Structure formats: structure tokens, C-alpha cells
Structure 1
């Protein structure tokens, strides 16, 4: 009976499970490269469409230069000291405001998420302040902070604060209560439960909030420079390209650099998430995310 039983078990699911386990890493890598290829094809297609619109006369060259001309200008800016100075000012204020938002929002989210009564008390304040546009606070920021860079950094911090704070709260609410109760049953206190269970579980949510905040912060940084002015910055550079008759090729090329900054920041944060939280990254890849 042993022989037939083993023979009958051959076509069963057990032998196929190791095969799926062995193919899974390769499948994930293939899927990742497939997404990258599709993204490259999409970007190339958009460049081709814009090029054809400009070259075919459907759009005035003075309003929208050909895509190849814009990309050539953007590449030349990489060795332009004047432009790099503007870019460095924006990056400094953007990253400074984002770092300050992380330093404020994560501890605040941990505090609110750990104390339900404080969460309920502070929710009204959060919901009242969150919808206020950062650009609407430019006049107040100018009155409070004299230096343009500090104005910009404060507005970036305000805009980036809310995505990080809310995602931290959502992450803490998603923590498995059984894991926390198990740790408490072994005599661990609230700080140990927070460090050993809550933080690792909420980490992917926090990182997602930082990714959203990075994009929002860059938009606010350039918008603040466009509205508040100053001596340097990407927004100031875009304003300068509109003066003296206007240089739409330089203006669009500057916007391309802003998009490249946002794309690079998102790629860095995605890579950091895969290194710090590999299980969450594999789960997202398995869902096709």
C-alpha cells in the first residue's frame, strides 16, 4: 500500500509547490523588468507625440518647443553653474523641509496612535489644518520668516507633515493586536511593544507617507519660489526664463528637471523600502503593485 500511496501522491500539489517557490524570484524579477520596459516605452511614446506635434505645426514652436530641443537644453543645464545654483537652492529647501516634517510627524503619529484619547482629541485639529493649502500661507510665512529659504522650507514642512502623520496613524491602527498582547503577556512594557511590534509593522506605511510627502513638498517648493520670489531657486529660474521675450525651451527644460528630481526621489525611497521591508515589497510585487 505504501507504493501506490506514494505513486498517487505524485500528481498532487506537494511536488508543484517547491517548483513555484523556485520560480517565484525569477518571476518577480521578470515582472519588475517588464514594468520598467513599459515605463520606458510610455515615456518614449510621449516624447515622440510631443515632437510630432511641434514639428508638424499643430502647436506653435514659440509656445511648445520640440521635445528633442527641450531634452537637449535640459542636458546642457547639467553643466551650467548658474542653473545648478538655482537647482541646489530648491533641493536644499525641499529636503530640509521634508526632513523636518519627518522629524515632527513620525513622533506625533506614534504618540497619537498609542494614546486613543489623545488621538480623538487631536483629530479635529488635524482635520482642520490639513486642508489649508500651503501656498495660501505664503504671506504669513513671509511675515514670520524673513529669509526666502526659510519661508520655502517652512511651507514644504507644513505640506509634507500631513501625509506622513496620517500614514503613521494608519500604520499603527493596522498592527496585529495579537502580536502586541503576546508581547505584553511575556512582561514587555509599552515602549518595548512600540519598538518591537508597532514600528516594524507601521514602517511601510510611514515610508509610503514620506514618498507622497516628497512629491508634494517639491511642488510646494517650486510654487513658493514662483509666488514668493527670492534670489535663487528653480521657481526663480523659471520666472527669469519668461522675462526678456521669454525662452519657452529653457522654461520647459527647467520643468523637466523638476520632474526628474521627483522621479529620482521616488526611486530612492522605493529602493529603501525594499531593503528595509523586504516582506512588504514582495507582497506588493506579488499583487502586481
Structure 2
């Protein structure tokens, strides 16, 4: 009886897949509605076609770019600098966050430095980065690293502060040292916070990467491509198509990180909502267990 109750409608992997497909369908409908509105605005003459091309034209140009070697080269340069800077930020921020979160005095001593450096915009550091790093790719990677460092660091600190102190004291009472407590309790508990910081940092890093290419220039990159589309009279359709690729790239990376978080940290999956079928199935399962 218990097994039948626990696998009732609205619970289990099947219901989770159904909810994911439902969210994906709603997202597709929302995207289609936005495309339709932009298409109508362009076709009805509310905006000039040269300023705002039809959405279908922009999407067609974006599809053509998928087989354009020149554009793919620009895109690859941006992706390489973006992911390189993001990976470097993770390698620096996570250990630093674990160290500061484990040593309260060191955390208090470095608080002023963190709060002073965190609000500095990465774009404002472009002249300094150009002086320090000669190659445009290294300039871009360093700026991405600086911008992505702070969300990961702060989320790591917040995650460590949210760790259950009873769990840590329990391990200490059994003779486990600080490193064992950090590895067995603190890091798994703070993991979802760290992943959230990486997701935020990925979006910020992509913005900074393209902004650095727009401001600092260079030979290749998505920002350089966007500048080239505005030379010689300008091609708004190509510029918007490049922006579509940037958005799709950020959404793809965010989707990958969300999927990784669901697999690595299954405890962060949402519970069934009260009143829904999953909630009723879970409640009936609990009642059945009590009856037996």
C-alpha cells in the first residue's frame, strides 16, 4: 500500500519531467509573443524599418550566421575570453570564500577591502587593463575575471554563514578536524549558493566581455563584429542578430548550470506546491503511512 501511495499521480520523476516541459512550453509561448509584438511594430510602421527591422528578418540573419565562418570566429573569440575569465574567477573566488568564511577574524579584516573594490565597474578598469596586458584577449579575460569574482565570492561567504552549526559541532564532537568539517558539511551545504554565484557571474561576465570589445576594440570578438555592422551605413539587422546570438549564448550557459545544479544538488529541487497534485500525493502517502 505504501508503494502505491508514493507513486501516485503528480509525484515521482514523471511529474517532474511534466512540470519542466510545462515551464519550457510557457517560455516558448512568451518568446513567441515578444517576437510577434516586435514584428507588428516593424510592419505597421510604428518604427522605421532601418531603425527596427522586422523580427523575422533578424532571426533569419541570426540563422545565416550559424554557417558564417567569419561570424563564428568572432563568436569563438568572445566565448574563449568569457569562459576563461569565468573559470579563473571560480578558481580564485571559491577558495578565497572558503578561507574567509572559515576564519571570522580574517573575514572581518578583509571586509573593508571587499566592499571598496566590489562596486568598481569593470569597464572603468579598461585603460588600466590595456596598460598591464598588451593582448586584447588577456585584457578581456582579466576584466571578465574581475567582474565575475565578486558574485561568486559573496555567495560563497553567504553559503558558509548559512551552514547548520549543529552539524558542524556534531562532527567536531566525533573528532573530525576543521578540514574534514569543511569538506563534509560546509562545502556541500554552501554548494548551491556557490552555483548561484557562478550563474550570476556568467551573465555579468558575458556583458563585460562584449562591453570590453566595444570599448577596447581588437581584431576579433562579438563586440568587434557589432562595431563592424555599424560601419559603412550600418546594418541594424546584423547588429540585432548578433545581439540575439549573445542572448542565446547566455541562456544556454545558464541552462547548463541549472541542469548541473539539479544533478549535483538534488536537495534544492522545489517541493510540490500546496494544493497541487504532487502535494496531494505526498499528503496521501503520509496519511497512508500513519494508517499502517
Q: Normalising by structure 1, what TM-score?
A: 0.91
Tell whether 2:31 aligns with 1:40: no
- From 192, 213, 221, give the equivalent of 2:209: 221
Secondary structure at the residue paired with 1:251?
Answer: helix
Residue range with higher mean Cα deviation, 249-258 or 15-24: 15-24
Rounded Cα–Cα distance in structure 2 between residues aligned with 1:271 and 1:19: 25
Which residue is 1:97 aligned to?
Answer: 85
The residue aligned with 1:18 is: 5
Q: Which residue is 2:200 aligned to? A: 212
Shift of residue 36, structure 1, vs aligned partner: 1.1
1:134 aligned partner: 122
What residue in structure 1 maps to residue 64 of structure 2?
76
Contact 2:74/2:222, CA 8 A, preserved across alignment: yes
Written as runs of structure 1 = structure 2, the 5 A alignment for 1:78-227 is 78-227=66-215
- Rounded to whole Å, the distance in 2 between the matches of 1:232 and 1:30 is 42
Aligned residues of 2:86 and 2:148 also touching (Cα < 8 A): yes
Are the equivalent residues in 2 in contact too, given 1:225–1:234 (CA < 8 A)? Answer: yes
Residue 235 of structure 1 aligns with which residue?
223
Checking the alignment, whether the CA contact within 8 Å between 2:214 and 2:227 is kept in structure 1 is yes
State the 1:30 CA deviation: 2.7
Give the SS at the match of 1:23: coil
Which of 217, 223, 237 is the equivalent residue of 1:249?
237
Tell me by how many angstroms 1:37 deviates.
1.1
1:267 and 2:267 matched = no
Q: In 2, distance between residues paired with 1:264 and 1:102?
A: 19
Distance 2:95 2:8 in 1: 39
**Aligned partners of 1:161, 1:105: CA distance in 2, in Å?**
6
After TM superposition, the score normalised by the length of structure 2 is 0.90
Instruction: Report if aligned partners of 1:211, 1:266 keep a CA contact under 8 Å in 2.
Output: yes
Check conservation: 2:9, 2:15, Cα contact below 8 A. Answer: no
- Superposed displacement of residue 282, structure 1: 3.9
- Asked if the contact 1:109/1:169 (under 8 Å) is kept, the reply is yes
Secondary structure of the 1:260 match is: helix
SS at match of 2:175: coil
CA distance in 2, matches of 1:30, 1:174: 32
CA distance in 2, matches of 1:21, 1:160: 44
What's the counterpart of residue 40 of structure 2? 52
Superposition deviation, residue 24 in structure 1: 2.1
